[in-house]
């Protein structure tokens, strides 16, 4: 005995071969085909009761609406296979795909991208642990501890017009070496300190 495909062996399908003493065709009628036909008939009966669609359905003869079309559609659905699966399996998979959440977080439905929380503007300030300076403007009163090589200048002397005469500009050196002892710069209540990193090409102090 030659078996061309094991699918014929393991893909079992319930079929009806006879009804009482009435023998049907040798191949039998699939049970799911009968279920398809009954579902189509039930759908046609429901559609006939609808306001707009019912008027169109009722124009068809009863034998065409309740017998011929359901049998023909059920036969087509029995023969139809998508990716090797029967019609009701494919329809169930598509329905679950449409109603299932698109995004999961810890196996639960996650919020959509449009509904995600977005924080407001966040200000990041360096803690001073680096050997180089970052651009910063500090307003007094207060004190600043500088632990790397720098140059302290008057704002007017470097051409910063938006600052006052007593404001200071702290500019880092190109070497960016740490100091053995930090230097404290005290600012008055109206004083301002502009910190600038070292510019490319400047000589080291």
Determine the average pLDDT of the residues in 111-136. Answer: 72
Does pLDDT of 205 surpass 60? no
Task: Output the pLDDT for position 158.
Answer: 57
Which among 155, 145, 191, 195 has a CA at the least distance from the CA of 172? Answer: 195
Does pLDDT of 200 surpass 60? no
Whether residue 115 contacts residue 171, with contact meaning beta carbons closer than 8 Å, is answered with: no
Mean pLDDT of the chain: 78
Looking at the DSSP bridge assignments, the partners of residue 196 are: 171
Task: Output the pLDDT for position 38.
Answer: 92
* Alpha-carbon span 78 to 70, nearest angstrom: 12
CA distances to 83, 85, 88 from 93, in Å: 12, 10, 9
Task: Output the pLDDT for position 78.
Answer: 87
Task: Output the pLDDT for position 20.
Answer: 80
* Alpha-carbon span 173 to 148, nearest angstrom: 8
Determine the average pLDDT of the residues in 163-172. Answer: 74
Task: Output the pLDDT for position 155.
Answer: 66
The lowest-confidence range among 39-43, 57-61, 102-106, 186-190 is 102-106
Does pLDDT of 203 surpass 60? no
Q: Say which residue, 196 or 116, is predicted with more confidence.
A: 196
Q: Per the structure block, which two tokens stand in for 28?
A: 């039998």
The lowest-confidence range among 61-70, 137-146, 166-175 is 166-175
What are the φ/ψ torsions at residue 79 (nearest 5 degrees)? -80, -20
Q: Say which residue, 205 or 179, is predicted with more confidence.
A: 179
pTM confidence score: 0.45
The lowest-confidence range among 4-8, 32-36, 92-96 is 4-8
Q: What is the pLDDT confidence band of residue 72, given thresholds at 50, 70 and 90?
A: very high
Task: Output the pLDDT for position 204.
Answer: 39
Q: What is the pLDDT confidence band of residue 29, given thresholds at 50, 70 and 90?
A: confident
* Alpha-carbon span 133 to 150, nearest angstrom: 9
């Amino acid at each position: 005995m030659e078996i061309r495909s094991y699918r014929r062996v393991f893909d079992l399908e319930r079929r009806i071969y006879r009804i009482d003493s009435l023998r049907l065709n040798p191949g039998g009628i699939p049970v799911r085909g009968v279920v398809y036909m009954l579902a189509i008939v039930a759908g046609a009966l429901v559609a006939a009761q609808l306001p707009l669609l019912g008027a169109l359905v009722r124009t068809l003869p009863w034998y065409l609406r309740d017998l011929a079309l359901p049998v023909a559609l059920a036969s087509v659905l029995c023969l139809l296979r998508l990716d090797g699966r029967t019609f009701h399996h494919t329809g169930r998979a598509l329905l679950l795909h449409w109603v299932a959440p698109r995004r999961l977080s810890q196996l639960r439905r996650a919020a959509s991208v449009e509904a995600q929380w977005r924080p407001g503007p966040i200000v990041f300030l360096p803690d001073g642990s680096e050997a180089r300076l970052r651009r910063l403007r500090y307003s007094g009163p207060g004190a600043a501890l500088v632990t790397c090589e720098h140059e302290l200048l008057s704002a007017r002397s470097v051409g910063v017009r938006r600052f006052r005469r007593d404001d200071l500009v702290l500019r880092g050196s190109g070497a960016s070496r740490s100091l053995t002892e930090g230097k404290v710069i005290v600012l008055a209540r109206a004083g301002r300190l502009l910190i600038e990193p070292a510019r490319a090409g400047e000589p080291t102090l």
